[in-house]
Structure 1
Amino acid sequence: MPQSQPSPTRIQVRVPAKINPFLAVRGVREDGYHELSTVFQTVALSDTLTMSVMAAEGRMYHPTSGGRVAVHFSHDGGAGVPAGDDNLVVRAATLLADRIGLRLQADAPIRTLLALEKRIPVAGGMAGGSADAAAALLGLNELWGGDLSRRALLELAADLGADVPFCLVGGTALATGTGSATAGVLCRGSFHWVACTADEELATPAVYAAWDDHCEPGEQTADDVLAAVAAGDPERLGPALHNDLQPAAEVLMPRLRADRRALLDAGALGAVVSGSGPTLLALAADQAEAHRIAGRVAGRFADVLITRSPAGGPVLSAG
């Protein structure tokens, strides 16, 4: 049960997207998940989750007043954002409430309002849903007076999805297993990217299923990417970009091959499918070159976003 000390009535968390400069699939584990070796980085494309508490007239605002709370979730992300219990924000709220002893009831007098501003591409391979879940865990732990440690939050995050623990921390990391076991790695300087979104979406399970049907485990390691990131050298990083899920994504969306070639022809040092796709990432030599590449390919994609990495972790503010 949360403690009764005063807690804020409004929390806002800005949480960045992630990219995979390197992703290798080693095969399928006995538990049915895929064994991965991947490098994560956060990029300066962020969603913002605002969480506030409202109470019926004459009642205390804090959830400890009766131990019951209603959760109301809204977003501006369009039809592509899952609704209700299918949304990772709602699932994170439910998991956290259970962990700290709150009961979620639709008719509870204490209401928690969750308002999500989407800027990370939906179903685009940049962990937007996982980032939002991380924002919910961090913000609601503060708003509800949960007082859980970062370690406890990471354990909850792993129950929500493989990318969620990294999204709680951010920066640059090497991940293994299903992707939830991470270790921070050195990164010098910044890298400049052009993120190109598609009109269509790719569901992560469908991409992994296509990998099962059409691909084999590879032996490529993350060494070249890690060395380039540590050196802060985009010229070295470009040709080292690698994603074993890229061929699977191209099976489902063949135009990705030509789109990736167009980014290379436009001057990118390297181009790769982001995560399970279909967003494509083009690495530029510097910020000015990123703008030039974006201008050359703008009409080819649903949206073209200029960003940089790494971007740190979630930023929480109260009031």
Structure 2
Amino acid sequence: MLEVLACAKINLTLDITGLLPDGYHELETVMQSVALCDRLVFSLRPQGIELQTDSPFIPAGPENLVYRAAELLQRVTGCRQGVHIFLSKNIPASAGLGGGSADAAATLAALNQLWSLGLSREELFGLAEKLGADVPFCLAGGTVLARGKGELLTPLKPLPPLGVVLVTPPLAVSTAQIYREYDRLLPGVHPDTPAMVTAIERRDIMAVAALLGNILEPVTATLYPQVYVVKKALKAAGAPGVVMSGSGPTVFGLCRDEGEARRVAARLDPGLGRILYTRFCCHAIKLAVITGCR
């Protein structure tokens, strides 16, 4: 059996720079792994894919990216082995934190090992692209500048383990709807991603906090004003930098360390939504072989 921890991501900047020939939005985003993780356990079975989750709200069939990642590996490699996967969710779902993408990336890495497929890093990244825009980053992890649909990755100098407060309002946000609204509204304030990259290279933490930005934030907040309510609360609680992650609705506050993040989180009204605190980390996936019984 293999146990895998799959890390969530946040977007320090998120910008849309144009449209690609296939109609997808062209992105430029600085992404960061955080230590909030889902846990997946993989065990061999003679055939078939069986997915079990600890949440009644998470699908356990082909609509789940974990299941689709396993199916994709079988189809591409011709592998006839089966697997049972247990998924324990800690990352809020559909929240702009890449939880499904992280789980899919973990599945690619774990089954490549468990099924002895021998796929190269480049081959795994090629499969990750087929599953979703955030999946390649969720294989790579750390601090990364991503372009294209999210598959063109440039590693950046790792940042120290800064603290992060995550607040996820109880909202169901559709990523597709947010991008449609972006195309309609075309908000004009773009984050300064080159300046963010420079601040990261210089390890200038206060500049990083000041340069946080997300072109989709005003779009999501127009539809869901609670996003701005959460932003205001995080700033009032003392977070040096605050921005929405991905297409939302999660808003995060960047802090100097995990201790400060814990203190900021304690000052927030629980009615804002699900409140978590964590820290930056330099990896996306941790695999461990499980021996004996559990």
Same fold by TM (over 0.5)? yes
Equivalence for 1:227: 198
Match of 1:118 in 2: 89
Residue in 2 aligned with 1:93? 70
- Does residue 263 (structure 1) correspond to residue 234 (structure 2)? The answer is yes
State the match for 2:34 in structure 1. Answer: 43
Return the alpha-carbon distance in structure 2 between the equivalents of residues 310 and 230 of structure 1. Answer: 16
Please state if 1:76 is matched with 2:54. Answer: yes
Is the aligned partner of 1:294 residue 2:270?
no
Tell me, yes or no, if structure 1 residue 305 matches structure 2 residue 260: no
Deviates most, 121-130 or 231-240:
231-240
* 2:136 aligned residue: 165
Checking the alignment, whether the CA contact within 8 Å between 1:124 and 1:278 is kept in structure 2 is yes
* Alpha-carbon RMSD: 1.6
Distance in 2 (CA, whole Å) between partners of 1:216 and 1:254 is: 16
- Note if 1:237 corresponds to 2:237: no
Counterpart Cα distance in 2 of 1:152 and 1:217: 38
Shift of 1:123: 0.5
Tell me what 1:59 maps to: none
| 1:71-119: CA deviation from partner (whole Å, max 9, x where unpaired) | 110111331x23411100011001100111135xxxxxx6410110111
Once the two structures are superposed, the pairs formed by residues 134-283 of structure 1 within 5 Å of their partners are: 134-216=105-187, 220-283=191-254
Query: In the alignment, is the contact (CA less than 8 A) between 2:167 and 2:230 conserved in 1?
Result: no
* Corresponding residue for residue 5 of structure 1: none
The structure having more radius of gyration, on CA atoms, is 1
Give 3-state SS (helix, strand or coil) of 1:165's partner: helix
Distance 2:71 2:16 in 1: 31
Change (3 A) 1:283 1:317: same
Would the aligned equivalents of 1:16 and 1:311 in 2 still touch at CA under 8 Å?
A: no
Amino acid at match of 1:187: P
8 Å contact from structure 2 (residues 200, 208) kept in 1: yes
Q: Deviations over 1:196-248 (max 9, x none)?
A: 11112212111111211212465543122223323333322111100001011
SS at match of 1:256: helix
Task: Report the secondary structure of 1:85's partner residue.
Answer: coil
8 Å contact from structure 1 (residues 239, 270) kept in 2: yes
Residue 288 of structure 1 and its aligned partner are, at CA, apart by 2.7
Q: CA deviation at 1:271?
A: 0.7
Amino acid in structure 1 at the alignment position of 2:42: M
In the alignment, the residues of structure 2 paired with residue 310 and residue 223 of structure 1 have an alpha-carbon distance, to the nearest angstrom, of 22
- Rounded to whole Å, the distance in 1 between the matches of 2:191 and 2:171 is 29
> Which consecutive unaligned segments of at least 5 residues does structure 1 have?
1-9, 56-68, 104-109
Which of 21, 24, 43 is 1:33 aligned to?
A: 24
The amino acid across from 2:112 in the alignment is: N
Alpha-carbon spacing, 1:286–1:26, altered in 2? closer, same or farther (3 Å): same
TM-score, normalised by the number of residues in structure 1: 0.86
How far apart are the structure 1 equivalents of 2:101 and 2:79? 23
Superposed CA offset, 1:225-276 (max 9, x none): 2233233333221111000010111122112112211111111111111111
Alpha-carbon displacement from aligned partner over 1:2-31 (angstroms, at most 9, x marks no partner): xxxxxxxx1111110111001111233231
Question: In structure 2, what is the Cα distance between the partners aligned to 1:220 and 1:295?
Answer: 29
